[in-house]
Amino acid sequence: MRVTVTGAAGQIAYCLLPLLARGDVFGYEQPIELVLLDIEQAQTSLQGVAMELEDGAYPLLTAIHCTSDVNKAFVEADVAILLGAFPRKLGMERRDLLVKNAAIFKEQGEAIRKHAKEHIRILVVGNPANTNAAVLAQYASNIDKKQITALSRLDQNRATSFVAKKLKISPEEVKNVFVWGNHSNTQYPDLFNGVTNRGPLPDWLRDEKFLRDEFIPVIQERGAAVIKARKLSSAMSAANAVKDHLRDWFLGTQDIVNMVVCSDGSYGIKKGIFFSFPCYCPGNGTFEIVPHFPWSSFGEPWIERTKKELYEEWEQAFTALFPKSSL
């Protein structure tokens, strides 16, 4: 299996690459070859990462290739994990970030269309993840949209862990806590469908004041809280969530898991918008959006807000990619 990782000299990659090499993601019987893409200025650092991977003497890791050439990176790729993105710099507006990254994901989408295997499976992590995935899908136009996903599993893991800690139980016992919409601070973390293997969540966890004042803002702002504390964004937990997302997508799970996927119109979300939905993964790189989880009247305005943000992001990216003068 040939796995391309972009942004491979970055901090999420540093936590993720050993998990891939050990077999934690694609299984302990699956040999993999890694193709590591980063920009030219990061090549020395990337060589160091490759040396450390070699020094791990991982039996499943058959080859490591480093490159800064996007057209070489995706040749014959079976899986692409897209971590590389332009970071938000001081003074940059959200829109500037969106436009900068739209250009990167356009280029990578085109390279995937030209060079990757047709059955490739793609996970977008670089922010703004939902809209980057939508841009990529436009340009990787020969790839079925159901082969392109983005990461919201970190948000689901954060919300699940929050509930487990409150109830003093293991996160494994908490199911169906979902995070809907955009991977941004408009996401809607939802406890109305949550259960434990002892039964429904207690009423106090669905109290509207508690949800509004504590649970929802803590989950929405968790990434910012980690940045404030570490002076760096989440990397260990992000790599762990990438592992969970890919393992479940490839090897299957009985749990209902959050994935950002292309809307087919489910839940009234416009077709083509990449939205975090609850998904069922039977295995082999397939998923189905699970259609029947209610939002409750409490959830509706939150969903409207995240949906509106995603529609606006798509408008902005689309306008930048296809300015009126070029149409």
Ligand X SMILES: NC(=O)C1=CN([C@@H]2O[C@H](COP(=O)(O)OP(=O)(O)OC[C@H]3O[C@@H](n4cnc5c(N)ncnc54)[C@H](O)[C@@H]3O)[C@@H](O)[C@H]2O)C=CC1
Ligand Y SMILES: O=C(O)CCC(=O)C(=O)O
Is position 125 annotated in a ligand binding site? yes
Question: Closer to ligand Y at the Cβ: 154 or 261?
Answer: 154
The string of DSSP letters for 245-258 reads HHHHHHH--SSEEE
CA-to-CA distance for 120 and 103, rounded, in angstroms? 21
Q: Choose which of 64, 154, 259, 269 interacts with ligand X (CB under 6 A).
A: 154
| Residue 59 touches ligand X, criterion: CB under 6 A | no
| Residue 83 touches ligand X, criterion: CB under 6 A | yes
- Is the Cβ–Cβ distance between 118 and 143 less than 8 Å? yes
Q: What are phi and psi of 245, to 5 degrees?
A: -60, -50
Neighbours of 8 (CB within 10 A): 29
**Among candidate residues 197, 196, 179, 175, the one with its CA nearest the CA of residue 188:** 179
**Among candidate residues 269, 279, 259, 277, the one with its CA nearest the CA of residue 304:** 269
- Residue 276, H or E segment: strand 274-283
- Is the Cβ–Cβ distance between 6 and 80 less than 8 Å? yes
Q: In this chain, which residue has its C-beta nearest to ligand Y? A: 223
**Residue spans of alpha helices (H) in 189-295:** 208-210, 216-220, 222-230, 236-251
Chosen from ligand Y, ligand X, none, partner binding at 202 (C-beta under 5 to 8 Å by type): none
CA-to-CA distance for 227 and 229, rounded, in angstroms? 5
Check 65, 115, 119, 183 and give the catalytic one.
183
| Residue 234 touches ligand Y, criterion: CB under 6 A | yes
| Residue 108 touches ligand Y, criterion: CB under 6 A | no
Question: Closer to ligand X at the Cβ: 155 or 190?
Answer: 155
| Residue 49 touches ligand X, criterion: CB under 6 A | no
Tell me whether residue 245 is one of the annotated catalytic residues: no
Q: What are the tokens at 301? A: 């305005």
Chosen from ligand X, ligand Y, none, partner binding at 306 (C-beta under 5 to 8 Å by type): none
Q: Choose which of 17, 42, 137, 143 interacts with ligand X (CB under 6 A).
A: 42
Question: Closer to ligand Y at the Cβ: 158 or 307?
Answer: 158
DSSP character for 214?
A: I
Q: What are the tokens at 139? A: 């340009």
| Residue 248 touches ligand X, criterion: CB under 6 A | no
Is position 190 annotated in a ligand binding site? no
CA-to-CA distance for 94 and 89, rounded, in angstroms? 10
Q: Choose which of 23, 72, 86, 266 interacts with ligand X (CB under 6 A).
A: 86
CB under 6 A: which stretch of 68-76, 107-115, 226-234, 274-282 binds ligand Y? 226-234
Is position 268 annotated in a ligand binding site? no
CA-to-CA distance for 243 and 237, rounded, in angstroms? 10
Question: Closer to ligand Y at the Cβ: 138 or 233?
Answer: 233
The sign of the torsion formed by the CA atoms of 225, 227, 230, 233 equals: positive
Question: Closer to ligand Y at the Cβ: 228 or 292?
Answer: 228
Chosen from ligand Y, ligand X, none, partner binding at 84 (C-beta under 5 to 8 Å by type): ligand X
Is position 176 annotated in a ligand binding site? no
Residue ranges of the binding site for NAD(+): 38, 101, 125-127
Residues near ligand Y, by CB under 6 A: 127, 154, 223-224, 226, 233-234
Residues lying near ligand X in the complex (CB under 6 A) are found at 6-7, 9-13, 37-39, 42, 83-87, 104, 125-127, 129, 151, 154, 183, 233-235, 238
Catalogue the active-site residues: 183
